[in-house]
Amino acid sequence: MELLDQKRELRREILAQRASVSPEERQARSEQMCRHLLSFDRLRRCRTVMAYYPFREELDIVPFLDKALERGQEIWLPLTLPAERRIVPYIYTGPDMLKRGTYGILEPDPGLAAEGKAEDLDAVLVPGVAFDRRGGRMGYGAGYYDRFLSSLPHRPLLIGCSFDLQVQKAVPMEPHDISLDFLATESGIRETGQPDLS
C-alpha cells in the first residue's frame, strides 16, 4: 500500500475511534491530560507556549490554557491562512479574542490580538490524528504544522497531545515530517524514543 493510502486509512480509523468516545468520557480524559501537562516541569519552565483550541472530538486542553495563563505563561494560538498554506501564531488572552476560522475552528482574531514572535517560542503543544512512541505524528493531511515548525529559527520543546487510543505502534512518516519530544495523553507524559514497556 502506498504511503498516502496508509495515512488515509489510518486517519479514517483513528478519527472514527475518537468520535466514538462519549462526551462525558472525553471530558474526564481531557481533564486527566491537562493535569499531567500542568504538572510537567519541562513545560512549566517554558515562558511562551503555543497551543491550539480544540475542534470537534479533539482532546479538550482549554483547562490547561486557562491555568497556564493564570500562572503567568504566555499562550499562543494558531491562525490558519489556507491561501498561503500556513499558520501564524497570535497571543491568546481569553475566548473573547477568538473567531470561527476557515475550518470551523475557533482561532485568534487578528484585529484583537498581537502576533507572536517566533524567536520567543519555548514550546508547542501539537494536535494530530495519530502518534507513536518514537515521536511520529500524523496530522489532518494539510501539512500546516510541519511547515510552521520547520520555519522556526530554533527548535522549541514539542509535545504531542492526544488520547491513548490515538497512539499507534508506528505512524507512517515522510522525510519532511518533524518528530516530537514528548507525548501527553490521559495516562501521563512520556519522552519519545524510549522503549515501549506497555
Q: Is the pLDDT of residue 50 over 70?
A: yes
Rama region for 40: left / alpha / beta (φ>0; ψ in -120 to 50; rest): beta
pLDDT above 70 as % of the chain: 97
pLDDT at 176 over 80: no
Q: What is the mean pLDDT of the chain?
A: 91
DSSP structural state of residue 111: T
Residues 6+ apart with CB under 8 A from 18: 57, 58, 163, 165, 166
Per-residue confidence (pLDDT) for residue 194, from 0 to 100: 63
Q: Binning pLDDT at 50, 70 and 90, where does residue 6 land? A: confident
The answer to whether residues 124 and 158 touch, using CB atoms and an 8 Å cutoff, is: yes
Contact (CB, 8 A) for 92 and 70 = no
- The per-residue pLDDT for range 163-175, each reduced to its tens digit, is 999 999 988 887 7
Mind listing the pLDDT tens digit for each residue in 115-134?
Answer: 999 999 999 999 999 999 99
* Structure confidence at residue 174 (pLDDT): 77
Pairing of strands 137-138, 130-132: antiparallel
What pLDDT sits at residue 95?
92
Question: All 3 cell numbers of residue 198?
Answer: 506497555
- Residue 79 reports pLDDT greater than 50: yes
Q: HSE (CB half, 13 Å, CA atoms) of 26?
A: 17
- Mean predicted confidence (pLDDT) in 61-72: 96
Smallest CA-to-CA distance from 184 within 131, 143, 138, 145 is with 131
Where residue 94 falls (left for φ over 0; alpha for ψ -120 to 50; beta otherwise) is left
Distances (CA, A) of 28 to 16, 49, 56, 183: 19, 23, 16, 18
pLDDT score at 140: 83
Stronger pLDDT, 141 or 157, i.e. the higher one: 157
pLDDT of residue 191: 94
The predicted structure's pLDDT at residue 196? 52
* Rounded Cα gap, residues 124 and 35, in angstroms: 17
Average pLDDT, integer, range 172-187: 89
pLDDT at 96 over 80: yes
pLDDT attached to residue 56 = 85
